[in-house]
Structure 1
Amino acid sequence: MSPYNQLDKAAEDALIARAARHDAAASHQLYHYYHALLAKEAHQRYLAAAGLRDEAEGIAGLAFAEAIAAYDATRGVHFAAFLQHRVKMALYTAFCRLRRYLRRTSHPDQDCTADGSLWDLLPDSAPIPEAQLCRRQQLRQAIHCLTAKEKAVLCLIYLYGLPQTTIAARLHVTRQAISKLHRQSLQKMRQLL
């Protein structure tokens, strides 16, 4: 018989309510009841394989504390099922987050080729500040050459993300007129750049 089945639902709900009000003794007693469940979930193979063995118990403990705060006894769900779901999802989320991080990043010492590290193969993608300033200045000059109506349409489309039908309604013109003005404005800017 598992230790967390020693309380009936009403007594357990009262204990959870006390723990939710930050009663340390109630929290400790609940943790004692559910420690086996937390340990079981924290020692899953997929977590150890991903290198989360050391962090898994802490994640499970945090999920336990969050489950106490989020548990609603009026919904009729037993706390053990609620807790198990919360802990599983917290651990799985940490696992997915780690996998996403590892997929997107690479360690500089990780050998990619026999000649050197992966960092040696990657070009520097950071923009050169002088070139960026020059492009911004050219863009400002091109925008300065536009009419007020062209500037307004481009601003509403690109800065505010409004659809052309909404812009047409605001400016009391047809959508085709906005589309034509948009196309002409971009053409004029391309010629200036």
Structure 2
Amino acid sequence: MERAMIFVDGNNFYHAAKNLLRQPPKLDMSKLVKVISQKDPNRFLLRTYYYTVDEPAQQGLVSYLRSQPRFIVNNNGYIKKKSIPGKIFDENDPSTYVKQEKGTDVNLATDLLIGAYMNSYDTAIILSADGDYIGPIKEIRKIGKIVELVVAKGQPISKKLSDVADSIIEIEKSDLTSCWNGTYNEATITT
């Protein structure tokens, strides 16, 4: 049986799901990783790693995921406020800066590489379309690891990234809504 680990880039996946669903996703991540891992019946899901930032808005999700079996949460990322050109930066005025997530990619890539070299898994399933993972994916494939990328249907993915993965799995709206926390209502707004 194939040993798999799932690596979730929380911010990247959140925005992809939000775009597909046209509303902020309220997903039960433990259900979602089961849906994803069961797409191959010969797979045993060892563990899921979830990467996010350390900020108050994330604490409910972080606490919930940490209580789930076989979940490890890394919230060592952080938010950097970058000033908008032509505006005077004011930390208290969001119209003067954009938020950038930092550290999440490095944390995910580190765990991906360590797990591969320690032979902790056969297949890495990465929930992200971030091109920053091209280098680490190439590296773990050199030692025989299989890499699957999971993206939301219609999510843009670069040719370079899709070329280095063994396969791309597009999750459908129905995959996400089946894992909805509460009652799902069709969105009529666009963001």
Give the TM bin, normalised by the shorter chain: under 0.3
Structure with greater contact order relative to length (CA < 8 Å, sep ≥ 6):
2
- What's the TM-score, normalizing by structure 2? 0.23
Q: Could you say which structure has the larger radius of gyration?
A: 1
- What's the TM-score, normalizing by structure 1? 0.22
